[in-house]
Amino acid sequence: MKNLFLAIPLLAISAFAQSFTIRGDVDVIQNTNLFELDCTRIRLVSTAVDLQALHNASRQQNIEYDMQVVDVSSGGLTILNVLSAVAVPEQFDMGNLRFGRSETWDLAGTAGSRYAIFVNDRNATSLLALPAFSNSWFMGPNAVQIFSGTMNAAFIQIPFQMPTIPALVGAQFSAQTLLLSPSNALSITHADCKIVRNN
């Protein structure tokens, strides 16, 4: 799986020339009328889609969106213009990052698929556009692999207990999963994120 991760940059092409797909949720930037891709620092704008409505709908049900986007980055900010959005079921959930509590990370896919889950600080996320896939990579080049294995069912729960590191309280971590199906098709989940809490 590590070799697959290293090969991903070879599949990336310039997003400035064409639209591509990202998968995720729309998050409101606190105390603003601005939006970003949930669990990243990638700004979202749109004149074709009501981003506030997408955000509101995803708070009522467990959905993400497949969004067709064009990269319109400027001023050092990664900015994606959303052309369209289609709701899709959530595929990945990190559980909670609370000291002293046993949690599970949930993953849906195809039984027999190999998986690798990577994490990074939310502020270190970035965009690697992958037009050949139904999603792009957001965890950046320095993401750390935290889990890997083979799915023995179409839905699995991975046990996890957050180590007690007081200095991390309030930090927000993002994660994303690479999946290699039994037919050797590579896919990428949406990103999920949680804030480290002490209880």
**CATH assignment of the domain containing 94:** 2.20.130.20
- What are residue 96's phi and psi, to 5 degrees? -115, 155
What residue type is assigned to position 90 of the chain?
E
- The answer on 144 and 48 residing in a single domain is no
- The answer on 74 and 48 residing in a single domain is yes
Q: Considering 89, 110, 140, which residue would you say is the last residue of a domain? A: 89
CA distance 81 to 110: 31
What is the reported pTM?
Answer: 0.87
pLDDT, greater one: 4 or 135 = 135
186 Cβ neighbours under 8 A, 6+ residues apart: 4, 133, 178, 179, 180
CA distance 105 to 19: 32
- The answer on 104 and 60 residing in a single domain is no
- The answer on 57 and 42 residing in a single domain is yes
Query: The domain containing residue 71 runs over which residues?
Result: 15-89
Mean pLDDT score across all residues of the chain = 90
- The answer on 151 and 57 residing in a single domain is no
pLDDT(106) > 90: yes
Least confidently predicted of 57-66, 78-87, 188-197:
57-66
- The answer on 172 and 188 residing in a single domain is yes
- The answer on 193 and 96 residing in a single domain is yes
Task: Name the one residue in this structure whose structure tokens are 């994490």.
Answer: 119
Number of structural domains in the chain? 2
CA distance 147 to 192: 15
Domain with 63 in it: what CATH number?
2.40.50
- The answer on 60 and 126 residing in a single domain is no
- The answer on 112 and 81 residing in a single domain is no
* DSSP per-residue string spanning the chain: -HHHHHHHHHH---GGGS-EEEEE-EEEPTTSS-EEETTS--EEE-SSS-HHHHHHHHTTSSEEEEEEEEE--BTTB-EEEEEEEEEEE--EE---EEBT-EEEEEEES-TT-EEEEEEEEGGG---B--TTSSS-B-S-TT-EEEEEEE-SSSEEEEEEEB---GGGTT-EEEEEEEEE-TT--EEEPPPEEEEEE--
- The answer on 100 and 185 residing in a single domain is yes
- The answer on 24 and 47 residing in a single domain is yes
Q: Considering 89, 115, 130, which residue would you say is the last residue of a domain? A: 89
- The answer on 31 and 128 residing in a single domain is no
Q: Considering 39, 57, 89, which residue would you say is the last residue of a domain? A: 89
pLDDT tens for residues 131-183? 888 789 999 999 999 999 999 999 999 999 999 999 999 999 999 999 999 99
Residue 17: per-residue pLDDT = 53
With cut-offs at 50, 70 and 90, classify the pLDDT of residue 100: confident
CA distance 22 to 12: 13
